[in-house]
């Protein structure tokens, strides 16, 4: 009874983690019930006989969790059976021409050469990864047909029945996999990549605060807390094999949803590789949060502002890219966040070159410089990820993001507009314009994508919203007065 309860608990856990696995189990049972009718329905059994077992075997070995994996295995299974069946018939025919005496010898030679060559090819890494199962089916089918004791016309009938049952079993798997609660490998790959980018963004958004916060010596509780806060990114480090298998399966899938038949799945692998490299830098950076040698509070205060900004802007860029992947829209503000991070990095470099750390302890200085170096690498990798995402957005034809204006959430306020008109109700608006002579319509359109907004919340209930544009010099200030 205890083992039965353990099985039930494990089943509940699996069903809770991914309900699609429960559905997949019923789908396998449905296909096996369909192909088993070759045994239970007498007219079908009269046509195929014991060869009907090949349909059942095909379902068992072909039906996979995703549509792409099922299509790939099904195609390889059918192709291997057809090719091996044709070669088996040819070998049987050539051997029979030599008469009863030479036929066994020639058949043995054919089987030896075919098996040796196929087995040797299986040692090739790429062939083994993709076609190992197909080669096994090829060897088995060729050997069974070529050394069959039937005469030539009976061998052809045997081959026809065997290939027919394999095709029926493979098609049954494909149809049920596509039309009954389909699981798309392409969608899983897309969601996995977006999730990985989001995990890195969570770490970077909080790293600056955690690294620069004031921790007294010997505060072990805070150190233990840090160890628990930053663990989600580690799953990204080991995602390579999963991404590659999903990309391989996705190539077999027909167009579905927002994914076309020839969707650029290779670009997903390129982005995934860059994301993993960034995760490795983050893993190394994380060690400096829990290192035995901690940088003193005085030194941290000198680099706190640019270091926080680097971490925050990199995290915002990652977050924007994650949202862009999830919604399949082109990233809009990620470029600005990357530029801000690079600007903060230059500021930090200038501080280091100014010689403000001459009196710092050598070990502390080494720890700080190493952390800054890792942050610089992360900025560069973030820029590369963004470039690859732009390539993916162009190849996959992502939609443009529709920008929506920022409105105050409080309903009890009035709208006053000064300077350039800005339609916004429920708040007081003050717009200040700095113009350097570039006021034509073309420049305004070109500069829309470079505007950014800063929100400042004051204790007296007044919210200041600063908007600026680097290229045209426009700066606006929106003051939102909340009524009690």
Q: What is the pLDDT of residues 167-220, one digit of tens each?
A: 999 999 999 999 999 999 999 999 999 999 999 999 999 888 888 774 444 444
Beta bridge partners of 479: 428, 464
Per-residue pLDDT of 102-140, as tens digits, reads 677 777 887 788 788 878 777 777 776 667 767 777 787
Q: Are residues 166 and 202 part of one domain? A: no
Beta bridge partners of 476: 467
| Rounded CA Rg of the chain | 32
Tokens of 257: 């949803």
Is the per-residue pLDDT at 464 higher than 60?
no
Looking at residue 259, the DSSP 8-state letter turns out to be B
Give the per-residue pLDDT at 328.
92
Q: Are residues 461 and 421 part of one domain? A: yes
Most confident stretch, 10-19, 114-123, 403-412, 445-454: 10-19
Is the per-residue pLDDT at 249 higher than 70?
yes
| Helix (H/G/I), strand (E/B), else coil: 148 | coil
Cβ atoms of 410 and 426 within 8 Å: the answer is yes
Is the per-residue pLDDT at 88 higher than 60?
yes
Non-local CB neighbours of 64 within 8 Å, separated by 6+ positions: 70, 73, 177, 249
| Helix (H/G/I), strand (E/B), else coil: 404 | coil
Give the per-residue pLDDT at 287.
83
Q: How far is CA 315 from CA 141, 172, 351, 462, in A?
A: 55, 47, 23, 28
Rounded CA gap, 175 and 188, in Å? 20
Helix axes 240-250, 67-97, angle to 10 degrees: 70
Higher pLDDT, 411 or 317: 317
Looking at residue 49, the DSSP 8-state letter turns out to be G
Q: Are residues 363 and 434 part of one domain? A: no
Is the per-residue pLDDT at 51 higher than 60?
yes
Q: Are residues 52 and 70 part of one domain? A: yes
Most confident stretch, 5-9, 155-159, 185-189, 353-357: 185-189
Give the per-residue pLDDT at 446.
40
Cβ atoms of 83 and 138 within 8 Å: the answer is yes
Q: Are residues 344 and 233 part of one domain? A: yes
Rounded CA gap, 411 and 424, in Å? 12
Give the per-residue pLDDT at 280.
94
**Which long-range contacts (C-beta less than 8 Å, at least 24 apart) are formed by 406-412?**
406/453, 406/465, 406/478, 408/463, 408/480, 408/482, 410/480, 410/482, 410/483, 412/482, 412/483
Cβ atoms of 38 and 164 within 8 Å: the answer is no
Q: Are residues 173 and 251 part of one domain? A: no
Give the per-residue pLDDT at 30.
93
Q: Are residues 207 and 250 part of one domain? A: yes
Give the per-residue pLDDT at 192.
95
Q: Are residues 362 and 228 part of one domain? A: yes
Is the per-residue pLDDT at 428 higher than 60?
no
Per-residue pLDDT of 364-385, as tens digits, reads 888 888 888 999 999 999 999 9
pLDDT bucket at 443, cuts 50 / 70 / 90: very low
Rounded CA gap, 55 and 356, in Å? 77
Q: Are residues 162 and 235 part of one domain? A: no
Give the per-residue pLDDT at 152.
64
Higher pLDDT, 405 or 279: 279
| Helix (H/G/I), strand (E/B), else coil: 86 | helix
Higher pLDDT, 63 or 470: 63
Average pLDDT over the chain, rounded to whole?
A: 77
Q: How far is CA 264 from CA 8, 46, 260, 327, 331, in A?
A: 41, 48, 9, 17, 17
Give the per-residue pLDDT at 230.
60
What's the full length of the chain, in residues?
484
Looking at residue 482, the DSSP 8-state letter turns out to be P
| Tokens 């600007």 found at | 343
Is the per-residue pLDDT at 460 higher than 60?
no
| Helix (H/G/I), strand (E/B), else coil: 475 | strand
Q: Are residues 191 and 162 part of one domain? A: no
Is the torsion defined by CA of 14, 19, 20, 23 positive or negative?
A: positive
Give the per-residue pLDDT at 150.
60
Q: Which domain holds residue 96?
A: 2-179
Q: Are residues 388 and 363 part of one domain? A: yes
Number of H helices, E strands in the chain: 18, 4
Per-residue pLDDT of 271-302, as tens digits, reads 999 999 999 999 998 888 777 677 788 888 88
β-pair type (428-430, 462-469) = unpaired
Tell me how far the alpha carbon of residue 181 is from its chain's centroid.
Answer: 21
Is the per-residue pLDDT at 31 higher than 50?
yes
Torsion angle (degrees, nearest 10) of CA 422, 427, 428, 430: -40
DSSP string across 313-370: HHHHHHHHHHHHHHHTB---SHHHHHHHHHHHHHHHHHHHHTTTTTTS-HHHHHHHHH
Domain boundary, last residue among 179, 205, 226: 179
For the chain, what is the domain count? 3
The enclosing domain of 376 has a CATH number of 1.20.58.220
Domain boundary, last residue among 353, 374, 395: 395
Helical H segments across 396-448, by residue range: 441-446
| Tokens 């990985």 found at | 196
Give the per-residue pLDDT at 275.
96
Pick the closest to residue 483 from 414, 394, 397, 395 (CA basis). Answer: 414
Give the per-residue pLDDT at 121.
77
Rounded CA gap, 341 and 382, in Å? 10
Cβ atoms of 59 and 173 within 8 Å: the answer is yes
pLDDT bucket at 389, cuts 50 / 70 / 90: very high
Q: Enter the pTM of the model.
A: 0.74
Is the per-residue pLDDT at 101 higher than 80?
no
Domain boundary, last residue among 130, 158, 179: 179
Pick the closest to residue 323 from 312, 311, 332 (CA basis). Answer: 332
Rounded CA gap, 453 and 235, in Å? 34
Rounded CA gap, 416 and 202, in Å? 38
Torsion angle (degrees, nearest 10) of CA 475, 479, 480, 484: 170
Higher pLDDT, 419 or 139: 139
Q: Are residues 446 and 390 part of one domain? A: no
In percent, how much of the chain has pLDDT > 70?
A: 75
């Amino acid at each position: 009874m205890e083992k039965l309860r353990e099985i039930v608990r494990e089943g509940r856990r699996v069903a809770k983690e991914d309900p699609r696995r429960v559905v997949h189990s019923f789908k396998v049972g449905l296909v096996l019930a369909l192909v088993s009718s070759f045994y239970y329905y007498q007219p079908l059994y009269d046509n195929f006989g014991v060869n009907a077992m090949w349909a059942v075997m095909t379902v068992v070995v072909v039906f996979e969790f995703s549509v792409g994996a099922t299509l790939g295995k099904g195609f390889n299974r059918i192709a291997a059976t057809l090719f091996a069946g044709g070669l088996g018939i040819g070998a049987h025919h050539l051997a029979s021409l030599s008469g009863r005496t030479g036929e066994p010898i020639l058949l043995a030679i054919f089987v030896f050469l075919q098996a040796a060559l196929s087995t040797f090819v299986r040692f090739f890494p790429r062939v083994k990864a993709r076609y190992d199962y197909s080669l096994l089916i090829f060897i088995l089918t060729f050997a069974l047909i070529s050394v069959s004791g039937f005469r030539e016309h009976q061998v052809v009938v045997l081959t026809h029945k065997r290939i027919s049952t394999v095709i029926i079993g493979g098609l049954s798997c494909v149809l049920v996999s596509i039309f009954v609660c389909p699981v798309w490998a392409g969608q899983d790959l897309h969601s996995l990549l977006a999730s990985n980018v989001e995990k890195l963004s969570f770490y970077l958004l909080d790293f600056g605060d955690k690294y620069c916060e004031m921790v007294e010596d010997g505060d072990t509780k805070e150190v233990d807390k840090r160890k628990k806060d930053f663990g989600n990114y580690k799953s990204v480090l080991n995602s390579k094999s999963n991404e590659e298998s999903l990309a391989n399966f996705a190539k077999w899938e027909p167009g579905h949803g927002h994914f076309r038949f020839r969707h650029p799945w290779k670009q997903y692998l390129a982005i995934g590789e860059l994301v993993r490299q960034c995760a490795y830098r983050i893993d190394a950076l994380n060690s400096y949060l829990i290192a035995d040698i901690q940088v003193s509070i005085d030194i941290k205060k000198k680099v706190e502002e640019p270091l926080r900004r680097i971490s925050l802007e990199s995290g915002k860029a990652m977050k924007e890219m994650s949202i862009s992947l999830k919604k399949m829209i082109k990233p809009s503000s990620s470029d600005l966040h990357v530029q801000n991070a690079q600007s903060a990095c230059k500021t930090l470099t200038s501080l280091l070159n100014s010689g403000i750390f001459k009196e710092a302890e050598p070990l502390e200085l080494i720890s700080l410089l190493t952390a800054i170096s890792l942050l610089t690498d992360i900025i560069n990798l973030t820029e590369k990820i963004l470039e690859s995402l732009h390539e993916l957005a162009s190849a996959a034809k992502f939609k443009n993001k529709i920008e929506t204006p920022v409105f105050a959430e409080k309903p009890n306020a009035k709208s006053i507009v000064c300077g350039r008109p800005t339609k916004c109700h429920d708040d007081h608006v003050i717009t200040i314009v700095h113009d350097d002579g570039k006021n034509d319509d073309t420049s305004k359109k070109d500069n829309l994508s470079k505007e950014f907004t800063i929100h400042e919340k004051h204790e007296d209930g007044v919210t200041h919203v600063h908007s600026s544009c680097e290229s045209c010099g426009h700066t606006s200030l929106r003051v939102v007065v909340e009524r009690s």
